[in-house]
Chain A
């Protein structure tokens, strides 16, 4: 008799643990063959709220880590993903991708993580500046993370869209609350397991699943979220994002890229989630000041 398979339970990821949605609800997305993908948590606004609390808590921990250290952790994520490649490929196939496309997507996701891991201790060297002010001051501008970012992941891909924005967001020291693809949620949750075993501090990334329609509002109106990243083309969502930005001046970043393309990675995605801080300090005896003494 054939051994009875153990089915995987997909839970959400908040503050470094895997709870079920606080609402107790679930939904059952299907693949192109009509197979149910599983019982997926249909999260509620309270899950968003809990995630934001965790993300805020983690912000100082994560943003105060050295850039070098963040780079190491990102590289570690890539390593762990590489180790579980076959699981991701299987899940992508189960979510309607061909084998070759599934393999391509996983490989690209790993490579993308490596790409951004490399940026960790370099982006500030390219994006920061020392400013030659005319007075006797040392003046420099540095990039600092915006804070807690809400990420509405690409709805058309399960893994690469998520990774392509998550990586530049956390590379820069932000923490993140992710709404996974509604219909293709499996890889996001499995990716959470990867994150959880990759030295990423609890709360840096929180991933929840459910209905976009229901979750967007509590995410975008949340006063403790500093920025929203949205990957998609829905005019309705775009408008909703910009309107909600008027509440607390969230920085809204909208992308309609094909994340499978290699060019869909660059430095400026990191800077989209950065604030520029300019610091002044007096310097003795530099031209420009009256140096009579």
Chain B
């Protein structure tokens, strides 16, 4: 902290830019490692995870010497040492989401990647070393949950930034209650994706697919609760099933693969367990008929129809390629149902009518609303949830405030 605070803002900026550039140069390598390590498909790590991670550094690099413009009338200062804990679903991207704004705001960082997906974070450590960033400004520590706990409880940490499950988020919140540590939490979700009868149907179907099967459904903002207006229910289900059957499941390193491997055996068990719960709750199941590879942890894309609001598979986060579907008749009804959840991370709305889109988007209690699109991310765009999906935002101007003090 002593070293980093003596580096002038404009010099800080250049370091962060340098990290971004070095990441870009090694993008291919990072993409392959990410896929090998996590099971996500190469198409996504190559086209989404890695470029977005680089761009995140690019975006925040420029903020270092402009912070006073972000918070009018206030004096801005860093918090100090920031402890960051990230999940296994977007390993490098989450590291970038955490480190870039923290550095830009003048903090130093101790980051713990997930135990199953530490490789790209360690590569990033290499890149950061190569960038010449002063030693100790960014520290990456691997380990299990107990390492995370030590980080959270360390007396000399000023702030904790955590992305992961709501359960762990609550534990963190509780364990720092006796201190003045600040905290931001980006937690679970059970996001509603709402298809109105005047939606652009084929794009909506694509949006449903992208909403739930992106990254094998290991996405906190996955559109896992689908609401379809009754008048278009049959056609949507027909198209959806047909589309699911076309998804290519298999080797994540194959450029053509749409659905890769489940991140770990443990997670596969969790998902399968929920699928069994779904069946026993009486919902109708449809699964892709695509032949799954014999080796590795795979889960066929799954949808459940005839699901009730009270079913567990409709309420709990599954974190896998499992979609639950309900119908609705009126706008008011769907708003009520969509908001009837302890979570509030994201939501999708599909309609051709502007006034209707804005009606829904303003009434849905969620931090991100994708209208006529889904699962879009950008460094300039704040991300984060309402209610039990956490607090604080990552990305954009609003992503700076969790890392600064205002006086």
Contacts and interface: CB of A to CB of B under 8 A. Distances in A.
Contacts of A68: none
Interface stretch (B17-25, B145-153, B320-328, B363-371): B363-371
B364 to A, nearest CB: 8
Contacts of B389: 249
B387 A129 contact: no
A131 B380 contact: yes
B367 A275 contact: yes
Given A247-B170, A249-B187, A281 B396 contact: no
A249 B185 contact: yes
B73 A267 contact: yes
Contacts of A276: 367, 382, 384, 393, 398
Given A242-B176, A267-B73, A277 B378 contact: no
A126 B72 contact: yes
B177 A242 contact: yes
A131, A268, A276: which has the most chain B beta carbons within 10 Å?
Answer: A276
Given A131-B378, A135-B376, A279-B371, A243 B177 contact: yes
B174 A134 contact: no
Contacts of A279: 361, 368-371
A246 B177 contact: yes
A31 interface: no
B74 A268 contact: yes
Interface string B131-146: 0000000000000000
A239 B171 contact: no
A275 B74 CA distance: 20
B240 interface: no
A139 B369 contact: no
B368 A277 contact: yes
A226 interface: yes
Contacts of A285: none
Contacts of B170: 246-247, 249
A24 interface: no
B125 interface: no
Interface in B369-407: 369-373, 376, 378, 380-384, 386-391, 393, 396-398, 406
Contact of A249 (B368, B381, B390): B390
Count class of interface residues, chain B: 35 or more
Given A131-B380, A239-B178, A280 B173 contact: no
A17 B309 CA distance: 36
B38 interface: no
B158 interface: no
B163 interface: no
Interface in B171-193: 171, 173-174, 176-178, 185, 187
B143 to A, nearest CB: 23
A286 interface: no
B381 A278 contact: yes
B70 to A, nearest CB: 10
A279 B360 CA distance: 11
A134 B369 contact: no
A245 interface: yes
Interface string B307-342: 000000000000000000000000000000000001
B98 to A, nearest CB: 18
Contacts of A135: 376, 378
A222 B362 CA distance: 25
Contact of A245 (B171, B173, B397): B173
Nearest to A146: B386
A266 interface: yes
B376 A248 contact: no
B247 interface: no
Interface in A143-181: 144, 146-147
Contacts of B72: 126, 267
Interface string A231-269: 000000001111101111101000000000000001110
Contacts of B366: 277
A268 B170 CA distance: 26
A226 B390 CA distance: 11
A132 interface: yes
Contacts of B178: 239, 242
Nearest to A60: B363
A278 B177 contact: no
B122 interface: no
B170, B185, B372, B386: which has the most chain A beta carbons within 10 Å?
Answer: B386
Contacts of A245: 173, 177
A146 B55 CA distance: 30
Contact of A281 (B73, B169, B185, B373): B373
Contact of B378 (A133, A248, A281): A133
B373 A251 contact: no
A119 to B, nearest CB: 13
B376 A280 contact: yes
A249 B173 contact: yes
B406 A131 contact: no
Contact of B372 (A131, A226, A267, A281): A281
Nearest to B380: A131
B32 interface: no
A211 B390 CA distance: 31
Given A131-B396, A246-B171, A280 B177 contact: no
Contacts of A240: 177
Given A131-B378, A135-B376, A268-B406, A278 B383 contact: yes
B357 interface: yes
A34 interface: no
A284 to B, nearest CB: 11
A287 interface: no
24 contacts: A129-B396, A131-B381, A134-B55, A135-B376, A139-B378, A226-B387, A242-B173, A242-B177, A245-B173, A246-B174, A247-B170, A248-B342, A249-B166, A249-B185, A249-B388, A266-B73, A268-B74, A275-B386, A276-B382, A277-B367, A278-B382, A279-B368, A279-B369, A281-B372
Given A133-B381, A242-B178, A246-B174, 13 more contacts: A129-B396, A129-B398, A135-B376, A141-B382, A144-B362, A241-B177, A245-B173, A246-B173, A248-B387, A249-B166, A249-B170, A279-B369, A280-B369
Interface of A: 126, 129, 131-135, 137, 139, 141, 144, 146-147, 226, 239-243, 245-249, 251, 266-268, 275-282
